[in-house]
């Protein structure tokens, strides 16, 4: 129990430190609005990719429609905060977005996750398109023009806090009975079933969980960028999130963080290269896929625990 407290305190320390460092840089003027924009994009991508990694890396299901769930969150925020221009309005819109995303995920997930195999990939791809086309044609979402002048109710600090919360919740989910049940489905569905694990239920749990974090990412995106259009949430947007997961390592949350930071930075740095940017970007991806096909970190996770046990070992050696 005491050891757990120590690890949790260490993680809390890291999160606070990260916040203080960014805040100090902001104060000293090292971070201009350009870099802040990059940091916020990285933060939102981390939220989106962590949820997708839970679905792909831990439950072993393939989802190609993450941007669809993101769109739900984004439009919930866009629509609600235009009438309710308060922080409360924003948080309410986040909750509404999560609620709708959960319903959509259940509708897609219940029929497809009963089956074994990659049916979810096709179904989610279709569902994301349906969501996008609905948004494109509805009056409330302002059709293809999208929503603009969404009140700026989100700062980099809000994104940072949300990123920390969703990561903590996701990691806690993974390192619990639920997470182990989800991983057993990935490892061997037949064996999991014969151990009394309701595979459909756990696949659905991971999928719905991932979808609701995507909605949070969407809400933050809408409120920070202030402009959203249906085109922002097409299949390419889903694939962009998928790239982060695959690059970082399918099944490694640490990898997702690193990949989101690396790609986010690369994207910004390469903007100076104009059209060469896309070529260098894809070249980097191809090289990584050739030399490190399991992603940057594979399934490795950073943890304070080995550090703690090494300390203990050293102590016992000295004694």
Kindly list the residues in this chain that would bind another protein in the complex (CB under 8 A): 1, 4, 8, 169, 172-173, 176-178, 180-181, 183-184, 187-188, 190-199, 205, 299
Is residue 98 a contact partner of residue 265, using CB atoms and an 8 Å limit? no
Distance CA 164, CA 245 (A): 18
Pick the closer one to another protein by CB: 60 or 146: 60
Nearest distance from residue 213's CB to another protein, in Å? 12
Single out the residue of 196, 218, 173 nearest to residue 80, CA to CA. Answer: 218
Nearest distance from residue 174's CB to another protein, in Å? 10
User: CB-based contacts of 173: which residues, under 8 Å, 6+ apart?
Assistant: 54, 179, 209
Nearest distance from residue 8's CB to another protein, in Å? 7
Pick the closer one to another protein by CB: 39 or 56: 56
Nearest distance from residue 216's CB to another protein, in Å? 14
Pick the closer one to another protein by CB: 7 or 302: 7
| CA neighbours closer than 13 Å in the CB half-sphere of residue 253 | 21
Nearest distance from residue 4's CB to another protein, in Å? 6
| CA neighbours closer than 13 Å in the CB half-sphere of residue 12 | 6
Pick the closer one to another protein by CB: 176 or 303: 176
Pick the closer one to another protein by CB: 90 or 202: 202
| CA neighbours closer than 13 Å in the CB half-sphere of residue 237 | 25
2 sits in the region (left: phi over 0; alpha: psi -120 to 50; else beta) called: alpha
């Amino acid at each position: 129990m005491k050891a757990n407290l120590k690890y949790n305190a260490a993680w809390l320390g890291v999160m606070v430190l990260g916040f203080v460092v960014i805040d100090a840089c902001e104060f000293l003027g090292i971070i201009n609005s350009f870099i802040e924009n990059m940091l916020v994009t990285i933060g939102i991508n981390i939220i989106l990719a962590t949820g997708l990694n839970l679905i792909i890396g831990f439950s072993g299901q393939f989802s190609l429609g993450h941007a669809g769930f993101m769109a739900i969150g984004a439009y919930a925020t866009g629509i609600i905060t235009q009438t309710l221009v308060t922080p409360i309005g924003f948080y309410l819109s986040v909750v509404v977005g999560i609620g709708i995303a959960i319903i959509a995920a259940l509708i897609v997930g219940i029929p497809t996750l009963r089956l074994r195999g990659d049916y979810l990939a096709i179904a989610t791809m279709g569902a994301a398109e349906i969501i996008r086309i609905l948004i494109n044609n509805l009056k409330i979402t302002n059709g293809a023009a999208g929503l603009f002048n969404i009140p700026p109710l989100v700062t980099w600090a809000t994104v940072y806090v949300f990123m920390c919360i969703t990561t903590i919740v996701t990691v806690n989910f993974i390192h619990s009975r639920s997470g182990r049940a989800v991983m057993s489905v990935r490892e061997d569905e037949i064996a999991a079933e014969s151990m009394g694990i309701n595979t459909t239920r756990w696949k659905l749990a991971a999928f719905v969980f991932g979808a609701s974090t995507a909605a949070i990412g969407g809400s933050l995106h809408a409120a920070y960028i202030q402009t959203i259009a249906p085109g922002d949430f097409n299949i390419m947007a889903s694939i962009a999130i998928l790239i982060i997961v695959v690059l970082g390592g399918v099944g490694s949350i640490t990898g997702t963080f690193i990949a989101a930071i690396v790609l986010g930075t690369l994207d910004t740095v390469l903007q100076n290269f104009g059209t060469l940017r896309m070529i260098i970007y894809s070249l980097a991806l191809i090289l990584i896929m050739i030399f490190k096909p399991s992603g940057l970190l594979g399934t490795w996770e950073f943890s304070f625990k080995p550090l703690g046990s090494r300390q203990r070992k050293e102590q016992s050696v000295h004694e």
